[in-house]
Amino acid sequence: MTLRDKVAIVTGGGTGLGAAVSLGLAERGARVLVNYARSVEEAERTAEACRALGADAIAVHGDVRDDVACRAVVAEATARWGRVDVLVNNAGRTTFAAAGDLEALSDEDFLDIYRTNLLGAYHMIRACAPHMREAGFGAVVNVSSIAGLTGVGSSLAYACSKGALNTLTLSLARALGPEIRVNAVCPGFIATRWFSDPLGEAGMQRIIAAQEATTPLRRAGTPEDIAKSILFLADEGSEHITGVTLLSDAGMHLGLAPPS
């Protein structure tokens, strides 16, 4: 377990992809802080599941839109464990709106999505960076999206926020080396409540069927699929990698699969 005794913070770590990442870190021997803004019961269950795997894990409230809250989350980790080694910026939000409907999103919709998806990541990196430098090992993985590379996705504001997150990844990879590596994973579709809540279970099943029919790998992504990519970039085995935006999308970005 190459992350044994490393300290990891996962924002939005209680549900979906964040929960899968938290559990994967625990399996690798890390001590895990499961951050949440609203999903307290889910975060506590995820922390308990991490403890069942033998990891020291806690659930800590903090809204990443608030810089003071982010610093408090990091302070909680350092008070308990004395260090921070891994940060997974997974917290995110969107508003579903057709890209062609230019009246669908207000200025505040854009700003609210940016506050979580971009500023939240920046706040957390800023709070963690001094501790990572002190430890001499820092791995930041930003959870971006195929939307930030292709302009598709749930809304224009979401795609733009993820494009900005990709740029932040590149800029901070240059600025924070050599102690701190900064990378991003860009998932395609993931079968979580991110889709089932707004679209309903039937709507999500339609997307799953389309993914299985049209992607080159004939797969619909699961949280565990994407977590593997995130854990690779967080782990000590990727110490030669920084400034990467890694697509994990079953080939969705390539377009429709050829007929079989």
Residue 6, C-beta contacts closer than 8 angstroms, at least 6 positions apart: 29, 30, 31, 85, 86, 137
pLDDT of 256 reads: 56
pLDDT at 214 over 90: no
pLDDT at 100 over 90: no
b/e code 85-99 from CB counts within 10 Å (16+ = b): bbbbbbbbbbbebee
User: What is d(CA 23, CA 41) in angstroms, rounded to the nearest whole number?
Assistant: 16
Confidence tier at 219 by pLDDT (50, 70, 90): confident
pLDDT of 38 reads: 92
% pLDDT > 90, the chain: 73
- Show contacts of 251-255: CB within 8 Å, 24+ apart: 251/215, 251/216, 251/217, 252/146, 252/188, 252/189, 252/211, 252/215, 253/146, 253/149, 253/150, 253/188, 254/216
Check if CATH label 1.10.3720.10 holds for domain 7-244. Answer: no
What's the whole-number mean pLDDT along residues 110-123? Answer: 97
Confidence tier at 258 by pLDDT (50, 70, 90): low
pLDDT of 60 reads: 98
Confidence tier at 1 by pLDDT (50, 70, 90): low
Residue-wise pLDDT for 242-253, tens only, equals 999 999 988 888
pLDDT at 260 over 70: no
Q: What value does the mean pLDDT of the chain take?
A: 92
What's the whole-number mean pLDDT along residues 37-55? Answer: 97
Question: Catalytic pick from 36, 114, 122, 158?
Answer: 158
User: What is d(CA 68, CA 59) in angstroms, rounded to the nearest whole number?
Assistant: 18
Q: Is 122 a catalytic residue?
A: no
What's the whole-number mean pLDDT along residues 26-44? Answer: 97
What's the whole-number mean pLDDT along residues 198-223? Answer: 81
pLDDT of 194 reads: 64
pLDDT of 257 reads: 57
User: What is d(CA 152, CA 159) in angstroms, rounded to the nearest whole number?
Assistant: 7
pLDDT at 259 over 70: no
What's the whole-number mean pLDDT along residues 42-71? Answer: 98
pLDDT of 226 reads: 94
